[in-house]
Chain A
Amino acid sequence: MSERPMIDRYTWYETLGVYLGLLVFLSFVLAPFVEGFLVSLKPLEHLFSSPYRFWPEDGSFDAYFTMWEHVPLLGRYIVNSLFISTVITIVVVIIVVPAAYAFARFEFRGSGPLLGMFLAVNMFSGAVLLIPLYRLMRTLGLLNTYFAMIVPGVAFLIPTGIWLLRTYMLRIPRELEEAAWADGAGRLYTLRRVVLPIALPGIVVVAIATFIGAYAQQFIFALTFNSKSEYMPLAVGLFSFFGKERVVWNELMAASFAGILPVMIVFVFLQRYLVAGITAGAVKQ
């Protein structure tokens, strides 16, 4: 007999159902990645062959090497992407940590409506505000700078960060801070020595979510506010593979994969924090 508790035991058809469900879901999510990867392995002329074949015959990793020659700035694009996302993440964490603590602990007039406003900002996608933002950037002479891509990114990611971290901090027992206060520690000392170490998993979650968010949303800001190729992030830089007559699909896909690789690696290392943070009953009383 299995060692599982009664509530976790399934019949064979229930187990089958669970795995079938997983299969459908995962194929739906992962199919584009698989197809993208297969395309990156095919020679270009095979892509337009008819009938279309999914499996690459005489496939090779050539595209992964030739792409650097066709688009010399590709490395720069990837570095730009990482740079923009990293700066956004650092700025967001620096701003969100004290803000979330204040919303979690201090009672001040307007804290409820302010939180509501932050939630409302989340409901706008950045796209709705692109034109006013563009005019603003142009007036301030900020177009075609890293700044123009970083600041809107920060602004749109702060609300999520505050909501995430505030919820986490609300779970830290107030008595811990009262104990520190009774022992003579001031607010900042308590924040540094007691609250932040306990909130660390929550802060890591915010950082990861922000980084991923920044990586995903930089496309739209970069496209609108920047036209200098040396500042382009990868998502915009990929347009270089669109030639006058044809699109170099295999290299385009190869470049996409090369671009997400660093993020994937970071994510693999940090995901245990993500899980720990989300499931946190981590704070022992």
Chain B
Amino acid sequence: MSQLTLSRLKKSFSGTDVIKGVDLEVSEGEFVVFVGPSGCGKSTLLRMIAGLEEVTSGDIVIAGKTVNDLPPVKRGIAMVFQSYALYPHMTVFENIAFPLRVEKRLENDIRTRVEAAARVLQLDTRLEQKPGTLSGGQRQRVAIGRAIVREPKIFLFDEPLSNLDAALRSDMRIELTRLHKKLGATMIYVTHDQVEALTMADKIVVLNAGRIEQVGSPLDLYHRPQNRFVAGFIGNPKMNFLEGTCTAANASGVSVDLGPLGTINLPRAGAADLVGKRLTVGIRPEHVRLGSDGAFAMTLRPGIIERLGIHTVAYSQLPNGDTFIALFEGDPVMSDDADVAVSIVPADCHLFDAEGQAVARPA
């Protein structure tokens, strides 16, 4: 049974629609990540679930109960804020104890729970310090501690790692995943960082301009993006898009004329009326292979080459002026402004119609 259901959820701020009808089901214990570019409404959506923003229309249902008009605490949620929102004048202990003090729990009970939370988060030795004396990662853990003492049904995280530096961020990512495994609670996590989304999520919700573009597991989104937006958003470096015209289409294949690059045949269940329409072929940089033994050969002339040791990224210009990115394993021999023969396997390619929707693969 789903623990959280959003149905036809809408939100507008003084006439501007920010969330334009969102439907979503979240099961108990799932780690769900809302991801999208800034301004896509992901934080607003989270704040609506939290009870910090009012719902314009639609319903939020938690454990079978419509909670639209309930305050956060009655929804059984706890939230971790981007700025941590720690109370600067209270000790770590008092910060974590805050929700319990609000509930007027007994002193013994408070102490037991705060100490248990502090053990989980390795804050035992910091309980008497003020937040100002802690490092970014420790402050983050205090904020999480304040969320877990109340044992909520659902945890909400609003870009919790964005104020940390890169090294600490990957550590905290692992800690959060571990915490999720340990607590088994439902977690909803907002980020603009697709690496966080891909590494932590059971289920990713890609949002764009107030709408859900696609919901799926990380590998689902990577391998089977339903539209051009998701294809371009998930994956780093970004997917290459080649514009072309359909020359032939049947139940087992679609041919796309890419102009000066030649014609590529893709295994797709194309309807015959696709012929003559504009199509976009998508190919991820990591699926471009060195050598001309693939089914579709190209010649690239990289203008810039980035060598990272583990792999090499080459940026070349296509005849129409677009940049084409190719990513190779290791550090193959190649130099700036010299031709390189590469090839693409059609099965690796993605195909989108003029509206940006993916063309179905053959069954």
* Chain A positions near chain B (C-beta within 8 angstroms): 173, 175-176, 178-185, 189, 193-194, 197-198, 283-285
Contact = CB atoms under 8 A, between A and B. Distances in A.
B315 interface: no
A173 B89 contact: no
Nearest to A186: B102
Contacts of A185: 98, 102
A175 B83 contact: yes
B89 A181 contact: no
Nearest to B158: A175
B81 A183 contact: no
Q: Chain A's interface: helix, strand, loop or mixed, by majority?
A: helix
Contact of A189 (B79, B102, B146): B102
Contacts of B102: 180, 183-185, 189
Contacts of B52: 178, 181-182
Nearest to B77: A182
Nearest to A282: B88
B171 to A, nearest CB: 21
B104 to A, nearest CB: 10
28 contacts: A173-B83, A173-B85, A175-B83, A176-B85, A178-B85, A179-B85, A179-B146, A180-B98, A180-B102, A181-B52, A181-B71, A181-B72, A182-B50, A182-B51, A182-B79, A183-B73, A183-B150, A184-B71, A184-B73, A185-B102, A193-B87, A193-B98, A193-B101, A197-B87, A197-B89, A198-B87, A285-B83, A285-B84
Interface string B69-113: 001110001110111110111000000001101110000000000
Contacts of A175: 81-83, 85
Given A179-B79, A184-B99, 13 more contacts: A179-B146, A182-B50, A182-B78, A183-B78, A184-B72, A184-B73, A184-B102, A184-B103, A185-B98, A185-B102, A198-B87, A284-B132, A285-B83
Contacts of B84: 285
A195 to B, nearest CB: 10
Contacts of B83: 173, 175, 285
10 closest A-B pairs by CB: A184-B73, A179-B85, A183-B99, A175-B85, A182-B72, A197-B89, A184-B102, A284-B88, A182-B79, A185-B102
Contacts of A178: 52, 79, 81, 85
A179 B145 CA distance: 13
Nearest to A189: B102
Contacts of A179: 79, 81, 85, 146
Contacts of B225: none
Nearest to B51: A182
Interface string B271-285: 000000000000000
A182 B88 CA distance: 18
B88 A198 contact: yes
B210 interface: no
Indicate the member of A180, A193, A283, A284 with the most B CB atoms within 10 Å.
A284
Interface of B: 50-52, 71-73, 77-79, 81-85, 87-89, 98-99, 101-103, 131-132, 146, 150
Nearest to A200: B89
A197 B82 CA distance: 22
A189 B101 CA distance: 11
Contacts of B73: 182-184
B255 to A, nearest CB: 55
A193 B71 CA distance: 19
A182 B101 CA distance: 13
Nearest to A174: B85
Contacts of A183: 72-73, 78, 98-99, 102, 146, 150
Nearest to A184: B73
Nearest to A183: B99
A87 B98 CA distance: 35
Contacts of A197: 87, 89
Contacts of B131: 284
B95 to A, nearest CB: 10
Nearest to B84: A285
Contacts of B146: 179, 183
A285 B136 CA distance: 11
A173 B71 CA distance: 20
A179 B131 CA distance: 15
Contacts of B79: 178-179, 182
A167 B73 CA distance: 30
A46 B78 CA distance: 78
B129 to A, nearest CB: 13
Nearest to A177: B85
A96 B130 CA distance: 29
Contacts of B132: 284
B101 to A, nearest CB: 8
A175 to B, nearest CB: 4
A284 B88 CA distance: 6
Nearest to A190: B102
Nearest to B98: A183
Contacts of A283: 88
Contacts of B101: 193
Contacts of B72: 181-184
Contacts of A181: 52, 71-72
A204 to B, nearest CB: 14
Nearest to A181: B72
